[in-house]
Amino acid sequence: MTGASGHLGRAVAKHAAAALGTGRHLVLATRTPAAFTGAQPETDVRRADFTDPTTLADAFVGVDRAVIISTDDIDGRARGQIAAIEAARAAGVRHILYTSMLAPVPANPAIIAPSHWATEEHLRNSGTDYTILRAGFYADFQVFEAAAALASGTLVHNRGDGRCAYLARDDIARAAAAVLVGGGHEGETLDLTGTEAFDAPALARLYSEIGGHEVTPQVVSDDAMLGLLGAGSEGHNQYGARLTVSIGQAIRGGFCDLVTDTVAQLTGRAPDPLGAVLARSGGSPG
């Protein structure tokens, strides 16, 4: 697996290691092998940086099935992820999994969609067995929105009547580990979602219950939302504001409202409800 030192990567590695049994082992590929100093001596840690092709040739040697975790470099990642797919193919990897997002189709306005779509398309046309894991938005990250809404008493949003079935990162990891270790699902695109799709009024009710005081939803235009989030900011923060607004547009456009039982089918356990994820977060996404 690539991206081994990220939050999702660590969780996939934990669940996969627990399910592996004897005779097979996990290869942890990361830009920062030093992050695993002190791990079990038999742990196979390799350097893999999608922007450095010299690290990719050896990263997949001897690997049968690989999961490529999408990187956080939204603008540049398609090229790197495609390089990783090609390196895996060249090394003889039989089955490649990729962690994508729900409905990254060209019509999806979320600015993270095109790079996922380009990577998916490359994988679909690669001639290799593949499984695409399309994950819903992290339930863990709703903690920020819940905190802001509780502080102001208002859930300001640009999602219209759209809904989203948020999913805990650990549940995505459990599903990815199940396919990585258990195999099967070749040629499939699996939609991983939470158990319930929330619109803004339902989210406001949930935040009110958790926080103990009332939160009222307030819909605003995309421009107003951008102004509220990004006013006076630049660089990273401005980018974050554009990302958040585009995710609101995607939710409003119906690209996130799917509810599936795929996580339960793959893992034998339903994902945690959003309320449980928020209640245990203690104000931090982990």
Residues of this chain that interact with ligand NAP (CB under 6 A) are 2-9, 30-32, 48-51, 69-73, 80, 99, 135, 137-138, 141, 169
Q: What is the Cα gyration radius of the chain? A: 19
Helix axes 142-152, 200-211, angle to 10 degrees: 70
Q: How far is the CB of 272 from ligand NAP (least distance, A)?
A: 15
Rounded to the nearest whole angstrom, what is the least distance from the CB of residue 240 to ligand NAP in the complex? 11
Q: How far is the CB of 214 from ligand NAP (least distance, A)?
A: 27
The set of residues, in sequence order, having a beta carbon less than 8 Å from that of 185 and lying 6+ positions away, is: 131, 179
Q: How far is the CB of 56 from ligand NAP (least distance, A)?
A: 9
Smaller CB distance to ligand NAP: residue 6 or 162? 6
For ligand NAP, which is the closer residue by CB, 6 or 217? 6
If the CB atoms of residues 73 and 186 are measured against ligand NAP, the closer one turns out to be 73
> Which residue number, 208 or 267, has a Cβ lying nearer to ligand NAP?
267
- Least separation in angstroms between CB 31 and ligand NAP: 3
* Residue among 50 and 208 whose Cβ is closer to ligand NAP: 50
Among residues 150 and 167, whose Cβ is nearest to ligand NAP?
A: 167
Tokens 């009710």 locate to 205
Structure-token match 């104000």, residue found: 283
Q: Which residue from 39, 42, 45 is spatially nearest to 1, judged by alpha carbons?
A: 45
Q: Which residues are paired to 216 by β-bridges?
A: 154
- Tell me how far, at minimum, the Cβ of 45 lies from ligand NAP, in Å: 10
State how far the Cα of 62 lies from the Cα of 45, in Å rounded to an integer: 13
Q: Cite the beta strand spans of the chain per DSSP E.
A: 27-30, 44-47, 65-68, 95-101, 129-135, 154-157, 188-192, 216-219
